[in-house]
Each structure stands twice: as C-alpha cells, then as structure tokens.
Structure 1
Amino acid sequence: MIKITFPAEQKVEEYSSRVTGFDILKSDILKEAVALKISGELYDLSREIESDTEVEVIQLSDEVGLDIIRHDAAHIMAQAVKELFPNTQITIGPTIQNGFYYDFATDRAFTTDDLASIERKMKEIIKSNHRFVREVWTRKQAIDFFSSIGEKYKVDIISSIPESEDLTVYRQGDFVDLCRGPHSPSTGRVKAFKLMKVAGAYWRGDAKGLMLQRIYGTAWRNKDELNTYLECLKEAEKRDHRKIAKDMDLFHIQEEAVGQVFWHEQGYTLYNVLESYIRKKLINNGYFEVRTPILVSKELWEKSGHWDKFRENMFIVDELESKKLAIKPMNCPCHVQIFNSHTRSYRDLPIRMAEFGTCHRNESSGSLHGLMRVRGFTQDDAHIFCMEEQVNSETVRFCDLLKEVYSELGFNEISVKFSDRPNVRAGDDEVWDRAEKALLEAVKEAGLSYEQSPGEGAFYGPKLEFVLKDAIGRNWQCGTLQVDFILPERLGAFYIGADGQKHHPVMLHRAILGTFERFIGILIEHYAGKFPLWLAPTQLAILTVTNEADDYATGICNTLKKQGVRVKTDLTNEKISYKIRLHSSNKIPILWVVGKNEVASKAVAVRNLGSGKQESFSYEKAAELILKSINLS
C-alpha cells in the first residue's frame, strides 16, 4: 500500500500500487493542475509515485505552474524550429522572468518573418495537444540517439551531467529533447504566448565559442495576461530611462568609457539630491560615514575570500612596488580595516559604518544596459558590526529604515526574499546554522513576510533581498541585508567582551538603494521623468515673454536660489509657446511665465507640469507656495 498525504486538504489516502498524479487527483482539480511537488521535487502528473509521501498540487495559478508552462513553450518552439529548419541544432532553452528562450546553432539569421512562421507552427503543435512523455535513458542510449540525429550540443551537455544523475528526455509527438523537466500534461496547456525577438548568444557564454541564435518568447496563463504584459512593455519603452535622460540632459555613456556614466549638470544634481537625502537618513539612524581607498592589494582580497570568488570580475592593476593591486569591487574588507584600527569594546557595539563607495566590476559588455548595469558605480553601502545578540534588533531597525526610504521615494509595495546557504561557501554548517537562525528570527520580528530562495545566499552568509514594485508593476531587487559570521574572523576583527575575552563581531552587510546609478535609472522609469518636486533636478523655470521682463525674472530667480529652490531662467528670444513646450518636455515641475503685466504687478503666471492650466499669483504668494511644497516634500 502507498499512503498519499495531502497537507493542504488535511487528508490521507491509500493506494494498492504505484500511482501517478492522474490517479490521485479529482477531475475538477486536474483541469488546473500542472504538476506535483513531492518531497521538495517537482513531478509530472504522469510520473509514478513509488512510496509514502506528502503531495502538493502545483496549479497554473501558482508562479511555479506558470514557469512550467513557459518551459513547455520553450520545447514547443524548439520543435517548431526543427520542423521548419531541419538543419538547425538545438542547444539549451530555459525559462526566464516573464518568458523563455532557446538557443539554436544555425547558419541562418532568423528574421521577423521567421518568427511569424515559427509562431504559426507552434500553434499547430499546441492544437495537436501532444502529451509530454518523460523517459529515463542510459548515458550511452542518450549519446547514441543525439549523435545519430546530429545534435552535437546535446551530446556536449550530456558529458557535463554528473554520472550520479538520471538522464531524462521528454517526447512530444515525434520530437525528443534532453530535459530534467517537469512539464505539464500536454502541449495544449499553453494558451497564450508570443515570440519577442532574436539575439546573439555564445555557446556556454564563452566569447571564443560559436555564436548562436537566441529566440526570446513570453507565455502567460491566458490572453488577457499576455495582452497586459505586452501593453506594459509598450509603456516601459516610453519610460526607457536612456531616452528620458537624453530628453532631460541627465547623462550619457560612450565607447571610450564603456559601462561608466558621464553625469551632466541636471543628472548630477539629481544624484546629489538623492545622496544628500540618504546621508541625512543615515546620520539620523546612528551611522557615521567613512571613505576607503579604491585600489587595494591582492593580499587583502585573498584573505577576505573575494579573490577566489570575484577575480574574474575585478579590474587588476599591474604590479606596483611589488604588489598586485585590484580596483575594489566592493567595500566590505576595507570597512573591516577601519574597525581593526582600534581596539573595540562590547560597549562600542553596534558600530554602523557607511560609505558612498565607488566600486568597479568587469561586467560583460553584452550585459551592460544604461544605468541598470554598469562597470563603475557607487553603492549606498554600510556595515554594522555587532554582537550576535544584537542581530535581531539591528535587522529590525534596518528594515524600518528601508521601508521609510522606499515609501518616501514613491515605492509602497515591497516583497522580501530569504536566501540561504549556497553550495560553494565559506564557513562550516554550524556557523551557517547560527547565521540563518539569527536572520530568520529578525525577519519575523520585523513583521516581514518572505519567500525562500534556496541556495542563493552570499558565499559568506544568508541574505535578505528587498524587491520593490514600480508604477507599471515591474519588480526591481534593490536593498539587501546579509548576516556574516565569517569575514570578521578571516580578517581578524575582534572586540573585548564583558568577560574580558576577544570575540569576533557579526557583520551585517546592508544597502537600501543598492547602487545610485541603477536606482536613479529605476526612479526615472518609475516617474517617467516627472519627479516629485523635492527630487526634481530643476524645480522651477522662469520664462520671459519679452526682454523687458529679463531683469525681473533674474531678480526673483536669484532670491529663490538663496532660499534653496533649484531654479533657472529662460531669457531667450524664442516664442513663449516654444519655451513652454521645451521646458515641459524637460519635465520641469513648475513654470512661471512673466511678461510686461507681471513685471508691472509683481506677479507670475504659474503652470504646473501636466495640468495644462495657467494661474496668476502675486510673486509673494507663488514663492510661498513653492517653498511650502519643497519643505513638505
């Protein structure tokens, strides 16, 4: 007898022989069921259950269920490509956020017309409703089969799979693909998809390898979800921070400094406003600010463990005075050096050390994307050195600060991911047990719900990732908090405890924005460049209708500057309608128009961005309104 437990329904059923999901689920549940989760492993509904177990039903409404459907779509696309272009070899086809892709080895450069043909063929395969059939093969059987049909990349993949793992393939009609699974019951479960674009990709990510053709697609539960996503993409294109930055003259990036930002006056003003805001928050929450070198010797990176982990992404400087130097990719080892510069007492803890630290990482050129992925960046970085019993309160304190900052910056929807120990890590299991336990208890104390990200922790400790949702529903992972019992010990950090003995502090690595560059990119797209008044690079522009108003405009501009308003004048001879369009397109929140009448009556005509209306106020009243708005924000 096999005992099947359904925890969600609090029931147990017994079966006389090995069964599948099709055998144990009722017909109404089967309609929405995509797979099962058994002892933490995902099972196809057709896969036999061989022993007593707990069963969780994965439905299409679940995120995991949607991911499986996207996996189905990737296989369906591969089958369609093979049927249309038989000489093409298939390589890998994973799911990604919002969709999937498949890499193909072919001499053909896929076109937009090809994508349309592939979509039509995919619809035929979906309509045929082929069952996804899982088979376990021997290594020899798999190599012989894929060699016989000319799929050398599949043979290469097989050679990299550990001998201890089962080799599984999936059939759908006449198409066979190497795959771990799982899949939904049949191709007909894919209801709404679209192929998006073609890009180049190197085999195994090796730039020295063959260039493949990568076709991206998206798949959703239904056509409504698909259409919503496509509309979101259109809106995202309008909000592209690179385009808006060009219109607003914020920054640019050029080939002579790949992945690094040239901040223009307006963009650097925005940068400084954000930095000043964060600095004030840190001071009010008990942090002090430091500055550490940008070039640090190889020896320190080796001691910290970063040399082995991040060497490929570090910029190395030729030996100087017999020492190999690296441009720092992160700040944490340097902050430990400041901690170590004095003998610390338990009475000194916690120590909250902050730095707007400029770092560099050698990101691949293909991954660079405006401000969202750069090689040179500045973090709102801080490290909290504390005793183990202080981890809880310091985590709660940080979470409260993070939520306050996000809210004031316009982000009110936040989700949290808890990432535990990765396979490759420093420290033993006892240390990781303590670190994970401390962080989990702190998250619960902070009143935060979270989802698990197994194996995604840093190499030195578990972490929290804070994900915010922007104005059009996109998720951005920004803030982090990592509990580190390891680095302080490796770098010899200690404090004198109440017992008079040396103890290693716990180090909390934390950031709220992440990097200024990326967060500013997110802000630009979130607000579509229409920043709240307090954050706008230029808060007010004074536009003259006639040169007779130039002195009046200049005078009130200078007065407002002294009162802290970021204001400029436009005294050009252009028509006022042109000036209004120009500065509106530059997303300046408030425009004051002044002509002969305004000069005579000491007044201004006020236009707020997006309102389309113009109201006249005395200068004193208009100045009072803008100063009040700035102070409130």
Structure 2
Amino acid sequence: MQGVDVASISVTVDGDERILEAGTTGADLFGDRRDVVVMRVAGELCDLAREIRADDVVEPVLVSEPDGLNVLRHSATHVMAQAVQGLRPGAKLGIGPFITDGFYYDFDVEEPFTPEDLKALEKAMQRIVKEGQTFRRRTVTQEEALAELADQPYKCQLLNRAAGVDGAEGVSVEVGAGETTIYDNLNRQGETVWKDLCRGPHVPSTKVLANGWSLMRSAAAYWLGSEKNPQLQRIYGTAWPTKDELVAYKDRLAEAERRDHRRL
C-alpha cells in the first residue's frame, strides 16, 4: 500500500502513543534509565531484550517497585547458583525463588555450607556482578530442556512434573503455563558461562545488582518441602536497589534482634 511505512509500528509507551521502528526492544526504549530493570507488556513482566510488537502497551518497571525488586532478587539467585557451582562443581540445583526481603536457592551438595563458604561465595558473586554478564532468554521444547539439563535431576523432576511438584513453593519461577525457557548467562564475549531452567524475567545485566546484596545464612530444607524427599542445603540472601537500603535492612534486623533479647 502506497504511503504506508511497513517498517514502523504503533505502540503505547507509558501511556503515550508512539511510532517505533519495527524491531525496537525494551532496551532501546529504556536502556539509558538505570532504574528500569524490566518492562510490563499488556500486564505481563518481560525482559528488556524483548522486541516491541505492534499495538503493544508497554510500561517501564522500576527496581524500586515491588515487581522490579522481585526481579532483582530472582536474578541474584542465578548469580549465587553460578557461584556455588563454580566452587562446588558437583552441586545439583534445586529451586531458587525470590521471597519477602530476599531470595534463596536449594542445592544438593555433599557437605553443608559453612560461614566461610558463604564468604567465598560472596567473593565469587562479586566477580560475576562486576563482569556484567547478560541474561538471555531461550525458548526450548521439554525434550531439549531435559537433554540440556540431564545432569540436573531436580530440574528434570520439575520438567516432568514429578509427584509433589505442582503447588510447591518456588516452582512457579521455574516451570508453569506457557513456554519452557532456559536463561543463559553470557560473558562479554557472548559465550554462555552458566544456564538455568527459568521463566524469568531478569535484569539485563548482573551489574544491576551492584553492591546492594548480601548472603545471610544457610539451612537444611527438604526438596519440595516434603520430609519424604532428600534434604538439600538452602542459602538465603537479600538484595536491594542500593547499598544504603541493604545497610538499613540489616540495621532493622539487628534492632529487632536486640528487642527480642530485651524481652527475654
């Protein structure tokens, strides 16, 4: 049709109608805003790397918003799990969701984690954060995912919807309705250095985590919350948009602990 620019699309961005070039991504729209970690498209959270499509209704999601903070914390679980497998290559991955004020990840390891292990893991995480790895979403079939993750028995249970999977805490961040997806962590050369079964979305780069996170403690936890299942080792952490907010959170915890001691 004469006069129609087929390379342009009409979308709504943050309440304003705009004409964009076809192929424009969320990163193109919001990449210069450090406070934007993902976007909301028609009410669904999406990575900034996703292409904007004709008639999409797009909103930036700030790291200070509850949804943005949850994404930050979920990305922190991936950084932690990568660090764990770097220091303990035989570790088998369980589930790693965001939770109130933080995150955790469950691991099947031969020996429980010690306070010294957590310090070493934090140093490894700092290296991953500084490296600025990017998160890449990849859609796969269930068969492809099972083949890629064949050495991860707990991930295979999730993919096969083994008994006890549906409804268990944290499962929805890994598998659920819709596509099966794997998130790759890419180094600066674009090489995959780590991957995990995950529904996402994630922050665009590990650098977004900056220095507003910390590992808190480790504990034992049954796989899928059932004492009939193997006992795994869970590491808890916390993540915030800034170091000041992290310090304030730790101060609140310390004050609450002091109050509890005074009551005793």
Tell me the equivalent position of 1:228. Answer: 248
Tell me the equivalent position of 2:209. Answer: 190
1:4 to 8, 11, 19: 11
User: SS where residue 214 of structure 2 aligns?
Assistant: strand
Task: Output the amino acid matched with 2:222.
Answer: Y
Structure 1 residues 33 and 103: alpha-carbon distance in aligned structure 2, compared to 1, 3 A threshold? same
Deviations 1:166-211 (A, max 9, x none): 0111111310001110101100100211111011110011111100
Matched, 1:86 2:99: no
Matches within 5 A, 1:584-603: none
2:60 to 57, 62, 71: 57
User: SS where residue 132 of structure 1 aligns?
Assistant: strand
Separation in structure 2 between the aligned mates of residue 213 and residue 57 of structure 1, nearest angstrom: 36
Tell me the equivalent position of 2:225. Answer: 205
Task: Tell me if structure 2 keeps the 8 A contact 1:202–1:212.
Answer: yes
- How far off its partner does 1:63 sit? 2.2
Task: Output the amino acid matched with 2:10.
Answer: K
- Structure 2: unaligned runs, 5 residues or longer: 1-7, 162-174, 187-192
Separation in structure 2 between the aligned mates of residue 152 and residue 61 of structure 1, nearest angstrom: 36
Structure 1 residues 169 and 26: alpha-carbon distance in aligned structure 2, compared to 1, 3 A threshold? closer
Matches within 5 A, 1:349-368: none
Task: Tell me if structure 1 keeps the 8 A contact 2:139–2:182.
Answer: yes
User: SS where residue 127 of structure 1 aligns?
Assistant: helix
Tell me the equivalent position of 2:185. Answer: 172
Deviations 1:580-601 (A, max 9, x none): xxxxxxxxxxxxxxxxxxxxxx
Matched, 1:14 2:19: yes
Task: Tell me if structure 1 keeps the 8 A contact 2:71–2:202.
Answer: yes
% identical equivalent positions: 40
2:103 to 96, 100, 104: 100
Separation in structure 2 between the aligned mates of residue 77 and residue 156 of structure 1, nearest angstrom: 22
Task: Tell me if structure 2 keeps the 8 A contact 1:47–1:134.
Answer: no
Matches within 5 A, 1:550-561: none
Task: Tell me if structure 2 keeps the 8 A contact 1:18–1:51.
Answer: no
Task: Tell me if structure 1 keeps the 8 A contact 2:106–2:232.
Answer: yes
Tell me the equivalent position of 2:142. Answer: 139
Separation in structure 2 between the aligned mates of residue 182 and residue 3 of structure 1, nearest angstrom: 24
Deviations 1:453-486 (A, max 9, x none): xxxxxxxxxxxxxxxxxxxxxxxxxxxxxxxxxx
Query: Structure 1 or 2: larger helix share?
Result: 1
Separation in structure 1 between the aligned mates of residue 21 and residue 121 of structure 2, nearest angstrom: 46
Separation in structure 1 between the aligned mates of residue 29 and residue 128 of structure 2, nearest angstrom: 28
- How far off its partner does 1:26 sit? 6.4
Separation in structure 2 between the aligned mates of residue 26 and residue 128 of structure 1, nearest angstrom: 18
**Equivalent residues, number:** 237
Structure 1 residues 114 and 26: alpha-carbon distance in aligned structure 2, compared to 1, 3 A threshold? closer
Moved over 4 A (4+): none
Matches within 5 A, 1:480-519: none
TM-score normalised according to structure 1 size: 0.37
Tell me the equivalent position of 1:408. Answer: none
Deviations 1:123-163 (A, max 9, x none): 0000100011111011111000100xx1111111111256x
Higher relative contact order (CA 8 A, sep 6+): 2
Task: Tell me if structure 2 keeps the 8 A contact 1:101–1:215.
Answer: yes
Task: Tell me if structure 2 keeps the 8 A contact 1:2–1:18.
Answer: no
RMSD of the TM alignment (CA)?
Answer: 1.5
Matched, 1:35 2:38: yes
Matched, 1:47 2:57: no
Separation in structure 2 between the aligned mates of residue 128 and residue 140 of structure 1, nearest angstrom: 32
Task: Output the amino acid matched with 1:167.
Answer: T
Separation in structure 1 between the aligned mates of residue 143 and residue 53 of structure 2, nearest angstrom: 26
Task: Output the amino acid matched with 1:202.
Answer: Y
Deviations 1:102-135 (A, max 9, x none): 0001111110000000000000000100011111
Separation in structure 2 between the aligned mates of residue 167 and residue 49 of structure 1, nearest angstrom: 21
1:23 to 28, 45, 48: 28
- How far off its partner does 1:19 sit? 2.5
Task: Output the amino acid matched with 2:237.
Answer: G
- How far off its partner does 1:6 sit? 2.2
- How far off its partner does 1:51 sit? 3.1
Separation in structure 2 between the aligned mates of residue 199 and residue 236 of structure 1, nearest angstrom: 21
Task: Tell me if structure 2 keeps the 8 A contact 1:143–1:155.
Answer: yes
Task: Tell me if structure 1 keeps the 8 A contact 2:11–2:53.
Answer: no
- How far off its partner does 1:4 sit? 1.6
1:112 to 101, 111, 115: 115
User: SS where residue 72 of structure 1 aligns?
Assistant: helix
Structure 1 residues 85 and 26: alpha-carbon distance in aligned structure 2, compared to 1, 3 A threshold? closer
User: SS where residue 120 of structure 1 aligns?
Assistant: helix
Task: Tell me if structure 2 keeps the 8 A contact 1:195–1:218.
Answer: yes
Task: Output the amino acid matched with 2:129.
Answer: I
Separation in structure 1 between the aligned mates of residue 236 and residue 103 of structure 2, nearest angstrom: 6
- How far off its partner does 1:42 sit? 0.3
- How far off its partner does 1:59 sit? 1.3
Tell me the equivalent position of 2:189. Answer: none
Task: Output the amino acid matched with 2:182.
Answer: V
- How far off its partner does 1:244 sit? 4.6
Task: Output the amino acid matched with 1:113.
Answer: E
Matched, 1:181 2:182: no
Structure 1 residues 238 and 37: alpha-carbon distance in aligned structure 2, compared to 1, 3 A threshold? same
Task: Tell me if structure 2 keeps the 8 A contact 1:94–1:101.
Answer: yes
- Structure 1: unaligned runs, 5 residues or longer: 248-633
Separation in structure 1 between the aligned mates of residue 194 and residue 226 of structure 2, nearest angstrom: 28
Separation in structure 2 between the aligned mates of residue 77 and residue 23 of structure 1, nearest angstrom: 28
